[in-house]
Amino acid sequence: MDYCYTEGISFLEKVTEKLKERIEKLDQSILAGQKDIESMHDYYWENYTEMDQYGYEDYDNQQALLSQTNANNELLLKRRRFRKMLDSPFFGRVDFVYDGEEEAEVFYIGIGNFAEDTGMTPLIYDWRAPVSGLFYDYDKGPASYQAPAGTLEGEITAKRQYKIRKRKMIYAFESDTKIDDEILKTELGTNGDIMLKNIVSTIQKEQNAIIRNTKDKILAIQGVAGSGKTSVALHRIAYLLYHDRENLKSSDVLILSPNSVFADYISHILPELGEEPVQEMSFDLFAYKELKGTAADCEDRWHHLERTMKFPDEERERIYKEKQSEVMAAQIEGFLTLLEDSLMDFKDVEFKGLKKTESELIQLFYVKFQDIPLLKRMDAVMEYFVDEFETLRDRDLSDEEREYVQEKFDRMYVTKDIYTIYNWLMEDCGYPCLADVPCEKRVLEYEDVFPMLYLKYRLMGRGSHRRVKHLVIDEMQDYSYIQYLILAELFSCSMTILGDKFQTMDDHVQDVLPFLPKVFGRKVRKIVMDKSYRNTVEIASYAAGIHGSKVPGLLERHGKEVMEASFENMEQLLEKVEENLKISGEDGFETAAVLAMTEEEAWEISQLLKKRGLPLSYIDRDSSAFKPGLTVTTFYLAKGLEFDQVFTVWNEKKVNPLLTQAKYICATRALHELYMFGENSEYYL
């Protein structure tokens, strides 16, 4: 047995013992803490009637209780981390000789810090600790890392990698190259996990640079399919949380994600890395909530995609695109300038002897309060009026009086209804107007949702979300110019923006990187990730061929050739799917997917496969869970996910403007096997 392995095992044994001891001690402290909390509760309930009349004692008690509860929560978190570490305490080791010293210091690296006791030198260092950068960034030889006190230089004399599962050493070896490609290939070649994996033990140097970047406020990553964008973004969140515990909590981080299934698919990563889950939201849902008082319902992206595929209409698509574009944003600005006059109908105001003439009001409106958004400005003028009244009369207005005055001022707007104003804008731009119906009957088509929301913010202001301190935008290519303007209005925090222009859900590739700096009004650091880790060489080359783009950098992981076939009808096609499906049996796969174009097709296929007796999960836009086994869904809901086997199914006779992008998205979802199956019946026409 080699030295590296035996030494690894003996350290594993030592650490396991120490972890167990530490967990036991924590058990006791937690128990003692809980008893304290209980007795503090008891004391409070027994004595609170007698506590001093000013409430000092009561306050002190509450504070003591709070700090004891917090202390106990921290212990609970620590215990949770150590329990997790028991399974696999470390995965790397670096021996580092600091400049000017003789002997190497040994650093073991794992998912968290672990010392025998608080304040002692760690036996294991958190992968996010400054010293752990050595493991990811350097081979043997001269190296340095950034410590709080400055750069520390020295030499790496040894570097090792381990795989430990359920307290058993699976392998241990000396790695003199970067985190070894062979290991990476083996890790990627195995099935076993169905959700996205944490990649702490094999983070690559380029990925590490992104994860550890705290300098750039806005990072935008254009990465080829499978380059680890989502993984890197999540590890970056964990890194930021670790290094800024004081200011950044999990609840301060928001991920804009494409759908709920994707949110489920990535949800376990942060807890696995010892952090609490972060907030997650879809932008469409957010818009729907924000427009509640303006329209009864809003279509979402899926409606639009389905319509584009079912009823391709170039003119309609042109209008859709224009409405989301920079040109539209400029048109809205021009429109707003004119609206300053056309929306207003000034009249003298008089209330119980206090009068403001039309020209005085105009002066206040256009000069004194000119910086306030148009639909909020009259409120400011009214407050000015009310203030003057209350000062002169030396009394406050009653609620009824206030309402009466408010009405007078509100009447100076021709309308306050955003929907009506939006229709004026449509008229100005030469687009068809939306139906003139009352709010409860208004259903916004997707093309109008974001321009209307943007108009609303420009008219009413919004104020940025102070609670969100870091925003992650995944699938950046799927957001329009107008959507980015809204995001810039809403969030002024640091951001990680990531995506792949080739996966745009549109008939054209959209590259958002050129306009981001303009929208956010600041420098955006752009990073390209051009190596793919997901697909085999065969699948990646096939996928690149769909766009005629160059094959990304790949690990030389080979697999089955991509199978392309055309079938006369769906039954024959599904026969072939069944024949090739390998999700059961000894060396079967964990996940497989049949990916169709439209929801209707996906549903139909799921029913036909069920009839064949195949167990499966059907994912539609309302689904929220990702499950092992066979999944049937559309290409657009499969975004961001991956499957061991993918069967892409489309109708060859049908005109589908999204077909090229859809095929590319489907093809790049496959880890090991890809089947591209066309069907040429007239069924779906």
User: Of 405 and 671, which CB lies nearer to ligand ATP in the complex structure?
Assistant: 671
Please identify, using beta-carbon distances, which residue of 482 and 539 lies nearer to ligand ATP.
539
User: 18 or 672: whose CB is closer to ligand ATP?
Assistant: 672
Strand order in the sheet with 591-596: 563-567, 670-679, 643-651, 591-596, 629-634, 617-618
Residue facing ligand ATP at closest CB distance: 228
Q: Which of residues 326-385 bind ligand ATP (CB under 6 A)?
A: none
Which C-beta is closer to ligand ATP: that of 225 or that of 295?
225
Among 522, 543, 488, smallest CA distance to 224 is for: 543
The dihedral of CA 266, 267, 271, 277: what is its sign?
A: positive
Pairing relationship of beta strands 92-98 and 150-165 according to DSSP bridges:
antiparallel
Contact assessment for residue 404 and residue 394, using Cβ atoms and an 8 Å cutoff:
no
Contact string 655-674 vs ligand ATP (x = CB under 6 A): -------------x------
Q: Give the one residue of 72, 175, 230, 259 binding ligand ATP; rule: CB under 6 A.
A: 230
Indicate the SS3 state at residue 217: coil
Contact 385, 354 (CB under 8 A): yes
> Does residue 136 belong to the site contacting ligand ATP (CB under 6 A)?
no
Q: 410: helix, coil or strand? A: helix
Total residues at interface with ligand ATP (CB under 6 A): 24
Interaction pattern, residues 407-426, with ligand ATP; x per rule: CB under 6 A:
--------------------
Residue found by looking up tokens 């006059």 in the block? 341
Which DSSP string do the residues of 36-60 spell out, in sequence order? HHHHHHHHHHHHGGGS-TTSHHHHH
**321 lines the binding site for ligand ATP (CB under 6 A):** no
* 226 is a contact residue toward ligand ATP (CB under 6 A): yes
Q: Is beta strand 443-444 parallel, antiparallel or unpaired with respect to 297-298?
A: parallel
Per CB under 6 A, which region of 192-200, 246-254, 372-380, 613-621 contacts ligand ATP? 192-200
95 binds ligand ATP (CB under 6 A): no
Could you say which of 111, 123, 225, 269 contacts ligand ATP (CB under 6 A)? 225
The binding site for ATP consists of 223-230
- The pair of structure tokens assigned to 554 is 């790949």
Structure tokens at 381: 């003028």
Looking only at residues 601 through 640 of this chain, which bind ligand ATP when binding is defined by CB under 6 A? Answer: 640
Q: Are 131 and 192 in contact (CB under 8 A)?
A: no
Q: What does the alpha-carbon distance between residue 685 and residue 683 come to, in Å, rounded to a whole number?
A: 6
Q: How far is the CB of 229 from ligand ATP (least distance, A)?
A: 3
Which of the stretches 15-23, 50-58, 221-229, 243-251 binds ligand ATP when contact is defined by CB under 6 A?
A: 221-229
- Of positions 223, 258, 274, 552, contacts ligand ATP by CB under 6 A: 223
CA–CA separation, 255 and 496 (whole Å): 9
Indicate the residue among 500 and 599 with the shorter CB distance to ligand ATP.
500
Does position 557 interact with ligand ATP (CB under 6 A)? The reply is no
Q: Which long-range contacts (CB under 8 A, 24 or more apart) does 238-241 make?
A: 238/128, 238/270, 238/273, 238/274, 238/275, 239/128, 239/211, 239/212, 240/214, 240/470, 241/275
Q: Is the distance from CB of 381 to CB of 364 less than 8 angstroms?
A: yes
In the list 92, 228, 451, 552, the residue contacting ligand ATP (rule: CB under 6 A) is 228
Stretch that binds ligand ATP, among 184-192, 242-250, 283-291, 425-433 (CB under 6 A): 184-192
Three-class HEC string of 279-291: EEECHHHHHHHHC
List C-alpha distances in Å: 461 to 23, 69, 363.
52, 40, 22
Q: For the CB of residue 177, give the shortest distance to ligand ATP in the complex, in Å.
A: 15
Binding of ligand ATP by 645 (CB under 6 A): no
- Among the listed ranges 69-77, 220-228, 288-296, 438-446, the one in contact with ligand ATP (CB under 6 A) is 220-228
Q: Does 227 bind ligand ATP (CB under 6 A)?
A: yes
Question: Which listed range, 33-41, 227-235, 426-434, 587-595, lies at the site for ligand ATP (CB under 6 A)?
Answer: 227-235
Q: Pick from 81, 160, 229, 301: which binds ligand ATP (CB under 6 A)?
A: 229
Among positions 299, 500, 538, 673, the unique one binding ligand ATP when judged by CB under 6 A? 500
Q: Which residues contact 363 (CB under 8 A, 6 or more apart)?
A: none
Binding site for ligand ATP (CB under 6 A): 184, 187-188, 196-197, 199, 202-204, 207, 223, 225-231, 500, 533-534, 640, 642, 668
